[in-house]
Amino acid sequence: MSLSALPQWQFSSEQGERNYLQALREYPAQIIVDLATLRDNMRHLVNVVNQEGGPTQVMGVVKADAYGHGLIPTALAALAGGATWLGVAQAREALALRAAGIGVDRARILTWVNNPLRAPYEELIEQDVDLSVATMTALHRIEQAARAVGKPARVHIKVDTGFGRNGFTLEQIDEAIDALLPLAQEGVFEIVGQWSHLAVADAPDVSEFVDETDTQIATFEEFTERLNARGITPQIRHLANTAATLSRPQIHYDLVRPGVALYGYEADPAMGTPSQYQLKPAMTLQAQLSSVKTVDAGEGLSYGRVYVTDKRTSAAIIPVGYADGIHRSASGFNELGAKHVNKLGGPVRVMTADGAKIMHVSGRVCMDQFIIDLHDDAERLNVHIGDTVELFGPGRGADYLEPNADDWAQAADTISYEIFTCLRNRIPHLYLNAYETLSDEDIAKLDQSTLL
Ligand SMILES: *Cc1c(COP(=O)(O)O)cnc(C)c1O
């Protein structure tokens, strides 16, 4: 019997268990996403924004394949939790949501990143996808597309309040209004929204950044005044990402756009931990050991000998690497190997005869694998080939010794977002609690072989 660092998964049926075993045959690592957790996180966000006043709608931001969690299953779970909007960067993702059968009766969809010269605006308008207008080029192209299709384009005017990325600046807004007004009057454009994005809302502990967010909010209001003065009154104003949704109720406006909170994380560990916000990480990444062996003292592990064993020990191989999206910057260095550098690698939960232990990436992360020093004899620890180890999961607290994506982010000097969006689709994605979370009709929209 192989040991597992995880509790036994609860399968919905024998077919669910067969799907799991098939995934183990296909690949030595699996991403397991709990759809009930995604739904509950969304439900919580809907409650948060409707506590003080409201009504405020919530957009589930599902760009980048739902931050690596899987676009369609995540979108459906977000809708089950009360989201009424879905947000994606790329046009193809918006079209994929509609093609999966998520109609306007279920969700408005907004898309905001493209090459305006080539974007499939006609198809987007036909499919009732809302469009961000951030440049005059996009404005003209969307106008052409709306005329060609013979249907008004639903647009959200993007304004740059200090992020320095997309959107009309205060200097450009009059030119935009000059072009927008006649199109709105003619019915070529339906001006639905005014929106912008915050740069530093995730640093409530840095007063300079709090001031900067205040300035962005004031600028957002100034844009509204400028639009209103010219007779443009967008019905839906939206500004808040996760950080502002959780910490700035005064700028929830008509709609909020949380991304990372849906997946169960706060925007920055400086804001606290997921549980402080009643959020729970939905993704677990597990893998099965491909080799366990004894190595002598003084042996280098992996490329570059940046980690050298300090005693006779056992080393285990975890068969995922940077080609799977495991950051090479989460490599582990020790003084024997890397001289003056001592840096813990990414954490891995391993089940042993002495209970669960956290081991760390030892040496450099390779393309398809990395090594962990078990710091003991594997036989004594009862660690064997085929055992399931956990790279990260919901993070059930210090006593339980379970890493989450924030821990990997710290080891890799990045943010949790990059930990899960970088995971490659070659790792099978499996879904827990689909039957408990989704209607039969929605279940039918999913790849049945992915359901546990
Ligand atoms: C990604 C994104 C969001 C969500 O950001 P989180 O920090 O994940 O909540 C919201 N709005 C825009 C425009 C985005 O690009």
Report the C-alpha gap between 234 and 325 in whole angstroms: 41
1 is in an annotated binding site: no
Among the listed residues 67, 263, 265, 303, the single catalytic one is 303
Distance, CA 59 to ligand 1 centroid (Å)?
10
Residue whose token pair is 């935009």: 176
Q: How far is CA 296 from CA 239, 313, 376, in A?
A: 57, 6, 11
Rg (the chain; Cα; Å): 24
Nearest Cα neighbor of 46 from 19, 84, 87 is 84
pLDDT in tens, the chain (452 residues): 689 999 999 999 999 999 999 999 999 999 999 999 999 999 999 999 998 767 899 999 999 999 999 999 999 999 999 999 999 999 999 999 999 999 999 999 999 999 999 999 999 999 999 999 999 999 999 999 999 999 999 999 999 999 988 999 999 999 999 999 999 999 999 999 999 999 888 887 888 888 899 999 999 999 999 999 999 999 999 999 999 999 999 999 999 999 999 999 998 888 889 999 999 999 999 999 999 999 999 999 999 999 999 999 999 999 999 999 999 999 999 999 988 788 999 999 999 999 999 999 999 999 999 999 999 999 999 999 999 999 999 988 778 999 999 999 999 999 999 999 999 999 999 999 999 999 999 999 999 999 99
Whether 198 lines ligand 1, by a CB cut-off of 6 Å, is no
Helices 71-80 and 35-51: crossing angle in degrees, nearest 10, is 50
Nearest ligand 1 atom, CA 245:
9
Q: How far is CA 431 from CA 74, 128, 321, in A?
A: 10, 29, 23
| From 67, 197, 256, mutation site for ligand 1 pocket: most ligand atoms within 8 A of C-beta | 197
Report the C-alpha gap between 293 and 232 in whole angstroms: 70
Report the C-alpha gap between 25 and 394 in whole angstroms: 25
Q: Which domains does the chain have, with CATH numbers?
A: 36-265 (3.20.20.10), 283-427 (2.40.37.10)
Q: How far is CA 52 from CA 49, 55, 79, 252, 279, in A?
A: 7, 9, 22, 10, 19
Residue 236 pLDDT:
98
Contact 366, 322 (CB under 8 A): yes
Whether 286 lines ligand 1, by a CB cut-off of 6 Å, is no
Whether 61 lines ligand 1, by a CB cut-off of 6 Å, is yes
Whether 258 lines ligand 1, by a CB cut-off of 6 Å, is yes
Q: What type of residue sits at position 46?
A: V
HEC secondary structure over the chain: CCCECCCCCCCCCHHHHHHHHHHHHHCCEEEEEEHHHHHHHHHHHHHHHHHCCCCCEEEEECHHHHHCCCHHHHHHHHHHCCCCEEEEEEHHHHHHHHHCCCCCCCCEEEEEECCCCCCCHHHHHHCCEEEEECCHHHHHHHHHHHHHHCCCEEEEEEECCCCCCCCECCCCHHHHHHHHHHHHHHCCEEEEEEECCCCCCCCCCCHHHHHHHHHHHHHHHHHHHHHHHCCCCCCEEECCCHHHHHHCHHHCCCEECCCCCCCCCCCCHHHCCHHHHCCCCCEEEEEECCEEEEECCCCECCHHHCCECCCCEEEEEECCCHHHCCCHHHCEECHHHHCCCCECCCEEEEEECCEEEEEEECECCCCCCEEEECCCCHHHHCCCCCCEEEEECCCCCCCCCCCCHHHHHHHHCCCHHHHHHCCCCCCCEEEECHHHHCCHHHHCCCCHHHEC
Does residue 63 have an active-site annotation?
yes
Residue 1 pLDDT:
67
Report the C-alpha gap between 338 and 302 in whole angstroms: 12
Whether 197 lines ligand 1, by a CB cut-off of 6 Å, is yes
Report the C-alpha gap between 137 and 125 in whole angstroms: 17
Q: How far is CA 149 from CA 156, 161, 260, in A?
A: 19, 32, 35
Nearest ligand 1 atom, CA 89:
15
Contact 413, 419 (CB under 8 A): no
Contact 287, 387 (CB under 8 A): no
Distance, CA 257 to ligand 1 centroid (Å)?
6
Residue 87 pLDDT:
98
Beta bridge partners of 138: none
Residue 346 pLDDT:
98
Nearest CA to ligand 1 atom 4: 259
165 is in an annotated binding site: yes
Residue 412 pLDDT:
97
Distance, CA 20 to ligand 1 centroid (Å)?
32
Whether 241 lines ligand 1, by a CB cut-off of 6 Å, is yes
Beta strand pairing status for 347-352 and 313-318?
unpaired
